[in-house]
C-alpha cells in the first residue's frame, strides 16, 4: 500500500464532492452523463495535481497515491456499470490514458491566455475534453477557464501541510 493512500482518499473525496456540484451541470453546461462526470472529476483532480507538482518527493508520492485512488474508484464504478471482468482492465487503461492526456492538455494551457489566432488555449482544451461529447457555448467555456485559473491560484496558496492532512478547499462553481 502506498505511503499516502489514506490522505489521497480524503483528497479524492473532496475532489469528487466538488466535481459533482450541481452548478457545473446546470449553470456551466457540463454534460450530466457518465462522460461528463468523469471529465469533471478529471479536471478537479488535475487542479490538485497541479498544486502538488511543485512539491518535493513527498508531493510525487502523494500525486501517485491520488492517481491510484482515483483509478481504484473508476475500476469500482466500471464494474458497477456492468462491464464484464474480462473488459475492465482494458477500460481502466483507456480511462487512465485519457486522464493523462487531459492532464497534459490542461497543464500546457493553464497559464497561456491565447494563441496566435486569439483563441484561449485552455478553452480549446476544455472544449475538447470537459465538453468533448457536446457542442458548448463560448460563455460556458469562458466560465470554466476562469474557474480553473481561479482555482489554480487559490490552491497555490493552500499550504502543502493541509494537502498532507487530506484537506483541499475549492471555491464555488461558476454561476
CA nearest to 41, candidates 69, 81, 7, 3:
69
CA atoms within 13 Å, Cβ hemisphere of 41: 25
Does the model's pTM come out above 0.75? yes
pLDDT per position as a tens digit, 22-58: 999 999 999 999 899 999 999 999 999 999 998 999 9
Query: Vertex 28, ends 159 and 106: CA angle to 5°?
Result: 50
Q: Which of 11-20, 40-49, 103-112 has the lowest mean pLDDT?
A: 103-112
Query: How many angstroms separate the Cα of 61 from the Cα of each of 13, 30, 44?
Result: 18, 31, 19
Q: What is the mean pLDDT of the chain?
A: 90
Q: Can you give the pLDDT at residue 1?
A: 46
Q: Show the cell assigned to 26.
A: 446546470
Give residue for cell 483563441.
Answer: 119
pLDDT band at 80 (very low <50, low <70, confident <90, very high): confident
Judge whether residue 116 has pLDDT over 70.
no
pLDDT per position as a tens digit, 127-137: 999 999 899 99
**Is the C-alpha dihedral spanning 127, 132, 138, 139 positive or negative?**
negative
Amino acid at each position: 500500500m502506498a505511503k499516502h493512500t489514506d490522505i489521497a482518499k480524503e483528497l479524492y473525496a473532496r475532489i469528487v464532492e466538488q466535481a459533482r456540484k450541481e452548478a457545473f451541470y446546470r449553470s456551466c453546461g457540463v454534460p450530466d452523463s457518465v462522460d461528463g462526470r468523469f471529465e469533471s472529476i478529471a479536471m478537479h483532480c488535475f487542479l490538485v495535481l497541479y498544486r502538488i507538482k511543485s512539491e518535493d518527493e513527498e508531493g510525487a508520492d502523494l500525486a501517485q497515491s491520488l492517481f491510484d485512488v482515483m483509478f481504484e474508484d473508476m475500476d469500482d464504478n466500471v464494474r458497477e456499470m456492468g462491464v464484464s471482468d474480462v473488459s475492465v482492465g482494458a477500460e481502466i487503461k483507456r480511462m487512465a490514458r485519457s486522464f493523462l492526456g487531459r492532464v497534459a492538455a490542461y497543464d500546457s494551457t493553464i497559464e497561456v491566455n491565447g494563441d496566435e489566432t486569439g483563441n484561449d488555449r485552455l478553452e480549446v482544451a476544455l472544449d475538447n475534453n470537459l465538453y468533448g461529447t457536446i457542442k458548448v457555448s463560448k460563455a460556458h467555456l469562458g466560465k470554466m477557464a476562469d474557474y480553473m485559473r481561479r482555482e489554480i491560484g487559490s490552491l497555490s496558496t493552500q499550504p502543502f501541510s493541509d494537502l498532507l492532512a487530506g484537506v483541499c478547499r475549492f471555491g464555488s462553481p461558476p454561476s
